[in-house]
Amino acid sequence: MFTGIVSDLGEVLEVDPKAEGLRRLTIASGYDPDTIDLGASIACSGVCLTVVARGRAGNRSYFAVDAAAETLAVTTAGSWQRGARLNLERALRLGDELGGHMVSGHVDGIAELISRENLPDMAWLTLRVPAGLAKFIAPKGSVALDGVSLTVNEVAGDTFSVLIIPHTLKVTMLGGLGVGAGLNLEIDLMARYAARLLEAAQR
C-alpha cells in the first residue's frame, strides 16, 4: 500500500525487452539501494512494481523492476523510454504518516489531460476518464494521478478537475504536463468497494 505522497523523482535508465512481453526497467533514484529489499514494492508513477535488482552505477543509485504485458498494456508504462521521469513512492510501513489517502498502486485506467489553466503558482487540470470510471469520481473525493494523491474539485460527465498546489508542482512530474498527456488513474478504494456493495445489494 501507498499514500500518494511522492518521495522522489526517478529517471528510466534502461528498457530491456524480456520474454513473453516482459520489460525490465532500470530506474535511477535518490533512494539508498542498501535500504531496498529485493521483492520490495515501489510505486512508479502510480504503478506498483516489484524490485528485482538494485545497486549503484558510478555516482547514481538505481533499482530495476519487471513490467508484465498486462501492466504495459493498461498503464503508461508501455510508453516509458530511456530518460522518462517518474514519480516514485516506497511502500507504506507500519507507523508511517498517512499524508494522502490509501493507494494500492493498481491502475484502473489512463486519464487524458484535456485542459490546463496556469494560475499564480498553481495549475487547474481537467482530465477525461475512460468509460465506466467516471461513476467512481466525486467532488471532494480522492484520486491518484501518476501516483499523486489529489482531491477532486469538479466533476462533469466523464471529466473532472483538480487544483495542483505549488509544492506538488515542484516535487512531482505534474508540473511539466501538457494537454494530451496520459496519466495513470487509480480511483479511491472506498469508492470502488461502495459501488461493489451497492451492486451486490441490487441483485
Active-site residue list: 2, 41, 48, 50, 68, 106, 151
- Which residue has cell 523492476? 65
Q: Residue 54 pairs with which residues in a beta bridge?
A: 63
Neighbours of 116 (CB within 10 A): 16
CA gap 167, 122 in Å, rounded: 9
CA 171 to chain centroid: 14
Q: Residue 26 pairs with which residues in a beta bridge?
A: 14, 64
- Single out the residue of 80, 103, 84, 193 nearest to residue 150, CA to CA: 103
- Single out the residue of 164, 72, 121, 33 nearest to residue 42, CA to CA: 33
